[in-house]
Amino acid sequence: MKFLRLLLILFVFPTFAQQGGMWIPSLLKGMNETEMKNLGMKITAEDIYSVNKSSMKDAVPHFDGGCTAEVISPKGLILTNHHCGYDNVQSHSTVEHDYLTNGFWAYKMDEELPNKDLFVTFIIRIEDITTKVLEGVTNLPSEAEKQKKIQENITLLTKSLPKEAWQENLIKTFFDGNQYILFVTETFKDVRLVGAPPSSIGKFGSDTDNWVWPRHTGDFSLFRIYADKNNRPAEYSKDNVPYKPKHFFPISLNGVKENDFTMVMGYPGRTQEYLPSFAVEQIMNELNPARIEVRDATLKTQNAFMRKDPAIKIQYAAKNASIANAWKKWIGEAKGLKKSNAVGAKQKFEAALTEKINQAGKQAEYGHVLNEFKTNYANIREYALARDYYNEVVLRNCEILTFGYKLYQLEQVLASKGEQSFNDRKNNLIKGFHDTYKDFNAQVDEKVFEQLVQIYATKSPQQFLPTSLKGIDVAALTADVFKNSKLTTYTGLQELLNGDSKTVIEKMNQDKAYILVKTMAEAYDKNVAPKWNEMNLKNIALQRTYMKAIMELSPKSARIFPDANSTLRVTYGKVKGYKPNDAVYYEPFTTLDGVMEKYVPGDYEFDVPKKLIDLYNTKDFGSYTDKNGKVPVAFIATNHTTGGNSGSPALDAKGNLIGCNFDRVWEGTMSDIYYSPDICRNIMVDSRYILFIIDKFAGAKNLIEELKIVKNTTVKK
């Protein structure tokens, strides 16, 4: 009997299936809370989100609009990733004080460094306001009128819904326009740099290890939020005081074991989990390969120059890393989609949904959707491909073309907004280009240009290309552009932009690079953009109806979560290794031993600071060890995360901080489109490694003393 019941439980609640999904924190009660408890959670949904008392959501701000952070002390200390704080660390760095290379630690509060433009945003309250947003919308005759009315309602409600003077109302759509949710927020603008390890810890492994497990990166940095005397948001002032949070996370030294419950709270940016099979096929077989091809050529060229010339290496480091980040993700995504047969799974889902539509007698409302998707994705194919080639070649990877494109926009500003706007824009461009050209090397870009224009002229759908590009001698064009265009140097650019609008436009239109960009842009704007926009709008409307059908016709127990949209979400799962390939199994934990195994003295990716080597050799680990006496570095789990979750708190069953999220494993990056618990894993740096570095490596006892550190069940202060 007992056995039977166990069997039944296992059958009804396959715990492995209860994973994946990014859930709205105010709606966890019910299905999610039950699942989380089944997985081992010891706290309640009310502890995570509450309107009546302080809860965990009060400790998780959006960091600088793109990452996540968590409050870890009663004095407003926050933790995020090294790569999230990177720009701020860089902005304080000089040759004498190179904080990127050597790290930075404030040993007293008055040593903390203010950051212009850095901000963090807390969520005060979350409220479903769908009926308000959709008021007066349903009876409007056309899609365009509906959209317009919705926008008007949102603008009005943003202003009129109740909030305090220092707060903001933010309204976001969920489920592709089927739900609207209000977030009342507070944004703090005095956020100071407190600590960052050297890049040889915070960025250890750099691009080679990016998206890769096993991982050994100490990807964290520390900041502090300052508030006015009333604990409210304020612009930077030396009179501001450390922010007193409503909640902060205790940090656990206990760690987790394989199969333990973990959850991650944060601000995932964008996912597309409900695309129809036709769209997934297109991304996997057509669009990703095209983007990858363009970036392959760019990266190979840049890398060759960077390896030979240290100056070029510095100039191209950030650009190269950012091009490589998405490139590497797309390659992993395509592999993962194939390996997990995402298209097959979608097709099965679509067949089942069609069945349900028929059974429910909803053919009139939903019966057309999948067929229309099919036609529409077939029709948009060439346009989508042309768009990706254009974006990657003209707007993203070839620098001289991106410069030319900015001038093309300048010419359009003159036509649409007149002389004054033209001059303002022109002066801004001249200013902005000053820094851009510091990191520009015409020799590198010439090689990139030649390959990318070749790809564009031969691979981008031919029917949309400007005639002048068809069958062109790319080598000759490249030589001509890089010999004669003013855009190859900053002084050349200044000369080009010198004069009144008429003179400038005349000069631009004689420049070889400009002529090429303009030809490409005009052809694209005429032959591709309008059609793509039209069909894309259709897909957006179809997606809304499709989503509605899914929500309406799925059983109550179905795990349907809204796509990521940069709002606060909760994801949960288990600590778990995975099998990336035949005969290979990855364990879920790494340790300092692995850092030393990867150590390459003097290498730009795998060097290790001497202090860390000394600590390792003398085994000076303090209490920051696992049960084997080793210092844990990183671990993985089945939490469903994406870009924007960087810096997110990783929490154990009791809501204690056990790590800081910073990446996903390469084989599982398809989780943005299709989550599979078999191979999708998020990567977190272990909180014990973070504390070890702060305490033993940096000697910042002042920070350790602020924290609430938990071991077993006792609280050590």
Nearer to ligand GLU, 660 or 707 (CB): 660
Least distance to ligand ARG, CB of residue 496, Å:
34
In the bound state with ligand GLU, the residue whose beta carbon lies nearer, of 62 and 387, is: 62
Nearer to ligand ARG, 276 or 643 (CB): 643
* Beta carbon nearer to ligand GLU, 321 or 345: 321
> How near is the Cβ of 206 to ligand ARG at its closest, in Å?
5
- CB nearer ligand ARG, residue 81 or residue 169: 81
32 binds ligand ARG (CB under 6 A): no
Say what the alpha-carbon torsion angle 513, 515, 518, 524 is, to the nearest 10 degrees: -90
Instruction: Give the residue with the Cβ less far from ligand GLU, 70 or 446.
Output: 70
Three-class secondary structure assignment of 437-473: HHCCCHHHHHHHHHHHHHHHHHHCCHHHCCHHHCCCC
Instruction: Give the Cα separation of 187 and 212 in Å (integer).
Output: 34
Nearest Cα residue to 56 out of 253, 245, 244: 245
Of positions 32, 68, 210, 282, contacts ligand ARG by CB under 6 A = 210
Q: What region does 647 belong to: left with phi over 0, alpha with psi -120 to 50, or beta?
A: left
**Residue 437 CA from chain centroid, whole number:** 27
Could you tell me the end-to-end alpha-carbon distance of the chain, in angstroms, rounded to an integer? 48
385 residue type, one letter: L
**Considering only CA atoms, which of 279, 139, 136, 121 is closest in space to residue 188?**
121
**Binding characters for ligand ARG, 338-367, by CB under 6 A (x = yes):** ------------------------------
Q: Which does 321 bind (CB under 5 to 8 A by kind): ligand GLU, ligand ARG, none?
A: ligand ARG
- The answer to whether 247 and 71 have CB atoms below 8 angstroms apart is yes
**Of 203-211, 260-268, 374-382, 434-442: span binding ligand ARG (CB under 6 A):** 203-211
Q: Is 667 in the site for ligand ARG (CB under 6 A)?
A: no
Q: Which one, 73 or 81, has the nearer CB to ligand ARG?
A: 81
Question: Which does residue 242 touch among ligand GLU, ligand ARG, none (CB within 5 to 8 A, set by kind)?
Answer: none
| Rounded least distance, CB 665 to ligand ARG, Å | 10
What residues have CB less than 8 Å from 488, skipping those under 6 apart? 400, 442, 482, 513
- 486 touches which of ligand ARG, ligand GLU, none (CB within 5 to 8 A by kind)? none
Residue 645 as a binder of ligand ARG (CB under 6 A): the answer is no
- In this chain, which stretch among 181-189, 202-210, 261-269, 363-371 interacts with ligand ARG, using CB under 6 A? 202-210
Long-range pairs for 26-30: beta carbons < 8 A, 24 or more residues apart: 26/126, 26/127, 28/570
519 sits near ligand ARG (criterion: CB under 6 A)? no
Residue 682, SS3 per DSSP: strand
Please, what is the minimum distance in Å from the beta carbon of residue 665 to ligand GLU? Answer: 9
Angle between helices 442-459 and 288-308 (to 10 degrees): 160
Decide: 584 and 576 in contact? Cβ < 8 Å.
no
Residue 454 Rama label (left phi>0; alpha psi -120 to 50; beta): alpha
Per CB under 6 A, 643 contacts ligand ARG? yes
Nearer to ligand ARG, 219 or 511 (CB): 219
Q: Which of 466, 447, 276 is nearest to 386 (CA)?
A: 466
Which run of H or of E encompasses 491? helix 490-496
Q: Give the range of 205-213, 432-440, 456-464, 706-714 binding ligand ARG by CB under 6 A.
A: 205-213
512 part of the interface to ligand ARG, by CB under 6 A: no
- Could you say which of 207, 333, 399, 446 contacts ligand ARG (CB under 6 A)? 207
Distance (Å, rounded) from C-alpha 481 to C-alpha 514? 9
C-alpha span between 386 and 392 (Å, rounded)? 10
How far apart are alpha carbons 334 and 668 in whole angstroms? 10
How far is residue 713 CA from its own chain's centroid?
35
Rg (CA), the chain: 27
Minimum CB–partner distance for residue 578 and ligand GLU (Å):
15
CB of 643 to ligand ARG, least distance (A): 5
**How would you classify the pairing of strands 251-252 and 709-711?**
parallel
Q: Which residues bind ligand GLU (CB under 6 A)?
A: 641-646, 662-664
Identify the H or E element spanning 290. Answer: helix 288-308
- Inter-helix orientation angle 369-390/442-459, to 10°: 140
Q: How far is the CB of 226 from ligand GLU (least distance, A)?
A: 25
How many residues form the binding site for ligand ARG (CB under 6 A)? 10
- For residues 153 and 93, the answer to whether their CB atoms sit within 8 Å is no
210 binds, among ligand GLU, ligand ARG, none (CB under 5 to 8 A by kind): ligand ARG
Q: Which is nearer to ligand GLU, 70 or 399 (CB)?
A: 70
Give the CA distances from residue 29 to residues 25, 50, 129, 204, 567, in Å, rounded to whole numbers and listed in that order: 9, 11, 19, 40, 18
- What's the rounded Cα separation, in Å, for the pair 325 and 203? 13
Cα four-point dihedral sign 694, 698, 699, 703: negative
Q: Indicate whether 646 belongs to the interface with ligand ARG (CB under 6 A).
A: yes
Choose which of 63, 105, 183, 211 interacts with ligand ARG (CB under 6 A): 211
Residue 644 binds which entry of ligand GLU, ligand ARG, none, with Cβ cut-offs from 5 to 8 Å by kind? ligand GLU
One residue of 134, 170, 321, 430 binding ligand ARG per CB under 6 A: 321
Name which of ligand GLU, ligand ARG, none residue 252 binds, using a CB cut-off of 5 to 8 Å depending on partner kind: none
- Rounded least distance, CB 186 to ligand GLU, Å: 22
Task: State the minimum distance, in angstroms, from the CB of residue 148 to ligand ARG.
Answer: 36
Q: Is 83 in the site for ligand ARG (CB under 6 A)?
A: yes
CA distance 26 to 21: 15
Binding of ligand ARG by 261 (CB under 6 A): no
The encoded tokens of residue 568 equal 């606060």
The entry of ligand GLU, ligand ARG, none that residue 57 binds, CB within 5 to 8 Å by partner kind: none
Nearest-approach distance from CB 624 to ligand ARG, in angstroms: 24
Nearest to 215 by CA among 589, 677, 582, 585: 589
CB of 683 to ligand ARG, least distance (A): 9
CA distance 682 to 592: 19
Phi, psi of 136 (to 5 degrees): 75, 15
Nearer to ligand ARG, 135 or 607 (CB): 607
> Which one of ligand GLU, ligand ARG, none is in contact with 207 (Cβ closer than 5 to 8 A by kind)?
ligand ARG
- Residue 645 interaction partner, one of ligand ARG, ligand GLU, none, beta carbon < 5-8 Å per kind: ligand GLU
Query: Of 15, 102, 178, 206, which lies in the binding site for ligand ARG, with binding defined by CB under 6 A?
Result: 206
Active site residues: 83, 219, 646
Nearer to ligand ARG, 217 or 539 (CB): 217
How far apart are the C-alpha atoms of 641 and 682, rounded to whole Å? 6
320 binds ligand ARG (CB under 6 A): no
Nearest distance from C-beta of residue 332 to ligand ARG, angstroms: 10
Closest to ligand ARG by CB, 106 or 196: 196
Position 539 contacts ligand ARG (CB under 6 A): no
By the rule CB under 6 A, 325 interacts with ligand ARG: yes
Task: Report the interface residues with ligand ARG, using CB under 6 A.
Answer: 83, 206-207, 210-211, 321, 325, 643, 646, 663
